[in-house]
A and B are shown apart, each in its own frame.
Chain A
Amino acid sequence: MTTRSSALRGSGTWNRWSGALFVAPYVAIFVLMLVIPLCIGIRLSMTRSDLFGIKEFVGLENFSRLFGDPVFLQAVWNTFYFVLLTVPVLTVTGLALALVLNHQSRWAAVLRAMFFASTVLSVAVVTLIWRLVLIPEGGLVAVLARVVGKAPVAFLGEQALAMPSIAVTTIWWGIGLPMVLFLAALQQVPRDLYEAAALDNASRARMLMSITLPSIRRTVVLVVIVEIILQFQLFGQAQLMTGGGPNNSTRPMVLFIYETGWKQWQLGYAAAAAQVLFAMIAIAAMAQYYFSSRKNAP
């Protein structure tokens, strides 16, 4: 009997199936909620459809239309511009905050909690707060501008300022995540490395460059890619703060997809745009997988 069961185990058949049983619930949900909708989406993207269903199969026509559509191209550019505005600042500021707050004191704990607190707010609350800060009629910035004798600025109404304003809002909202990721990484760096460096007469700047940054470089890569993936999906802030204006200057891809699909009822066209966004995020996700699973020195 022992021989038999160990032979079975040796063949791996039983192991394979019992293993499959354990992951089955997850796989079922994954297929149902992700794979099937993805396939439906891809199919939809090759059709002309509205709310009443698919009208006709059009192949890649939606995609070729997309790349000639100035509004979509503007949305793609806006999205990249937004990612460019937010990701470097989130990464550098998150790291700076983590470095400053990475010690055991009451103030550090209070400040860590405060900087993280904004993360738990909903997008509606965040955008409401920042509209109150930014509106030219009685907003916080306008009041402060008046104090120093400057004319108030319509941050959300000016093409050059609208997207940077959304970026500032987003950074304020999302700074908690990179900060805690960096804090966790910093706490993994062995203390005695810093002590050895202190005995090696290293300045603080030298320790940062030669000990801290090399030790947490995987987390830096992780934060950059996670933030790229997150910020590619900009939607709520733009919709609630500017509605995509002025002059389409703040319309990101997700808002384009939403409006094309649910306001103009061009579901096939919207699905095609969604596939483009999906491809972009998939590339970033693969980059993250590549970097995080790469095996080289610690």
Chain B
Amino acid sequence: MRALDGVTFSVEQGSTLALVGESGSGKTTAARMVLGLDTPDTGSVAILGKRLESLKSEELRVLRRSIQVVQQDPYSQLNRRHSVQRIIEGPLIAFGETDASIRKAKAIELLDAVGLERAYLNRRPHELSGGQCQRVAIARALIIEPKILVLDEAVSALDVSIRAQVLNLLRSLQRERSLTYLFITHDLGVAKYMADDIAVMFRGKIMEKGNREDIFKNSAHHYTRNLISSVPRTEPPIQRKQTYDIQALPTINENDACSYRSRCSVGLQQAKCQTESVPLTSGSASHAWLCHFPLENGMK
């Protein structure tokens, strides 16, 4: 089965690309490819101009300095037997920094950058809240001064008030350190806040990509529109609902040319979506989609 199918994207230095999608859409698989944790069957990944598959293991190791990851679960990504200091120093140790005083000074600097006091150096993960753990994970990721940060649902487990703090922190760190972010999220609001460009994934394919305006104002793909309208708004409806959409979502028909067809109100009526493979259509330099019958907004 194809977890990723013909996925192409690029992230400009210093900008943020969000991969959004529901579970099983392949967004985390894409992140693993970028991190070099898995290798694609076909296609290639280039980081800072270097193709991963052409690198020798030592070269790959050097390149790994430039790309770090922060994961979803605040607790499981930190070694619970280590102190915060040891956790943050980890990458320095891995890359051969033997001077303990340099490591400690760096750890303190990063702790400060993520908004934690020096007193946290001796704490252990179980003494920290979820938000504090995420800050420690960010400090650890940044200590070897990477160029790229992969953030895999990095704020999804946090409470609303804490999530806002961490998102603001990530934005200011990006500005200060000209970081490039690959932001994996299922949350469209978070994607809109964080990302310059957004790629909407479904079943291993990028259905639509574009900048914030393209995706939120001029979405061309029916899936994108459906996804946006499914996010519960914090404005209560003026009137009680009159119609209810209660049926379970139909299962995907693997034989359809467009994988979204069985859930698409337009595609279901069209034989073309069943039989003819869907070409990538560009609406502008920034905006492209995979759909035979795009929404009107996208066509201008």
A is bound by B:
no
